[in-house]
Amino acid sequence: MTMTITQQLITIIMIVLGTMLTRFLPFIVFPPNKTTPRYIQYLGEVLSLAALALLVVYCFKDVGFLTGSHGFPEIISVAVVILLHVWKGQMLLSIAGGTLFYMLLVQTIF
Amino acid sequence: MIQVVERWSWISLHRNQNFFLILLKNCSKGVNELERHRICAAFSAAFPYTTPILAGFVFLGIAYGIYMNSLGFSAIYPILMSLTIFAGSMEFVAANLLLGSFQPMNALLLTLMVNGRHLFYGLSMLEKYKRLGKKKHYLIFGLCDESYAINSTVKIPDHVDKGWFMVFVTLLNHFYWVLGSAIGGIFGSFIQFNTEGIEFVMTALFVVIFVDQWMKEKKHEIAIIGLGVSIFSLIIFGGQNFILPSMAGILIVLTVLKRPLEKRGAISA
């Protein structure tokens, strides 16, 4: 670990602060009887999905597609997660199934 | 109250609820009889709604605790982070941030982006959380996806105190999440099997939420913009530096395309 304890604490505090800001801000900025600007409403609607897409890509930031296993275990396991989820639609099953499958792949084949 | 309990015939559920109720009764000894009855009734009404979350949060929390443990963090990290951050996906990302170099502003901006959806939850709960006094502060603090999902959709019976009902929904979810993280963090080091690859649980979580959203939306422009801009920026800037450019890119593209997107009906409203 490259950070000192203090730096870790500051990082965690920033994350707490950021999270609390997203939760408290609407209640601070918009008193109950004021209407929300259109652009903010629009961002509220579209940003969550776009940010989720960013998170999915974020998980692949350290996968070397040109070296090692070329990201095959990751791609196959994501496919397993998607198939399981479209087929059964049970969140926990899809997550547990996909993770166990990935662990099996990286521990035995790749 | 007895009627509410009877509806839930699952025995272990019974025991759990009775345990919590006894605990609650002991904790509220100073409060007068009527108020205590009101609080217990709200708890009994709220608990059944949180049982699916109980399973989900304890499972994911354990996975999160084991994951943190596998990265070399002691149990106090997942416990404290679950208590104070209480936003599952961000906590997984936080684990990664803690392993990287010290960039507090980056952490703050990424948090705002990842948790930006809470703004939307807040906007739609402005009315419901009004006039709840001190309870309001905790309710807003604990406004995670699952608490929002329950508190915004459940029709609370008239005889149940709405403020206490929503507090218990939030509090129970908070408790399940911290409990799971604690179990995973504390017992993670005793696990005998090879945990290599456990980090994939984060990818799986995000993919599942993404697929859920994808299937819910009729048009997929926004999801594709998010994916496209992020992948493009990952290729150009590399894994260490791609997040800020991605966020800026997404904001710009969504702002520029606001009109066409609204015209095409890519937005539900």
CA pair distance B36, B167, nearest whole angstrom: 15
Residue A33, pLDDT > 70, answer: no
Q: Where are the domains of chain B?
A: 2-216, 217-269
Is B90–A8 a contact, with Cβ atoms under 8 angstroms apart?
A: no
Indicate the domain borders of chain A: 1-58, 61-110
Cβ contact, residue pair A91, B234, below 8 Å: no
Mean pLDDT of B221-236: 93
Model confidence over B20-50: pLDDT tens digits? Answer: 777 777 666 666 788 888 999 999 999 988 8
B13 pLDDT tier (thresholds 50, 70, 90): low
- The percent of residues in chain A predicted with pLDDT above 90, rounded, is 44
* Mutant choice from B207, B221, B255 vs A, greatest count of A C-beta within 10 A: B207
How far is the C-alpha of B190 from the C-alpha of B188, rounded, in Å? 5
- Residues 14-33 in A contacting B (C-alpha not used; CB under 8 Å): 14-27, 30, 32
What's B41's DSSP letter? H
Read off the pLDDT of residues B83-139 as tens digits, 9 standing for 90 and up.
Answer: 999 998 899 999 999 999 999 999 999 898 888 778 878 877 887 888 888 899 999
| Per-chain mean pLDDT for chain B | 84
With 0-12 CB in 10 A as exposed, 13-18 as middle and 19+ as buried, what is A59?
Answer: buried
Kindly give, in sequence order, each residue whose CB lies less than 8 Å from that of residue B261, ignoring residues fewer than 6 positions away.
A46, B221, B222, B254, B267
**Cβ within 8 Å of A, B 118-137:** 118-123, 126-127, 129-130, 136
Give CA torsion, residues A31, A33, A37, A40, to 10 deg: 50
Residues of B in contact with A98 (CB under 8 A): 200, 203-204, 207
Q: Are B207 and A79 within 8 A, CB to CB?
A: no
Q: Do A102 and B200 touch (CB under 8 A)?
A: yes
Say what the ipTM of the complex is: 0.84
Residue B112 contacts A, CB cutoff 8 Å: yes
Q: Which residue does chain B place closest to A34, by CA atoms?
A: B126
Question: Backbone phi, then psi, for B239, in 5-degree steps?
Answer: -60, -30
Minimal CA separation from A68 to chain B, in Å: 15
Query: Does any CB of chain B come closer than 8 Å to the CB of residue A39?
Result: yes
pLDDT in tens, A51-101: 778 888 988 887 877 777 788 999 999 999 999 999 998 878 898 899 999
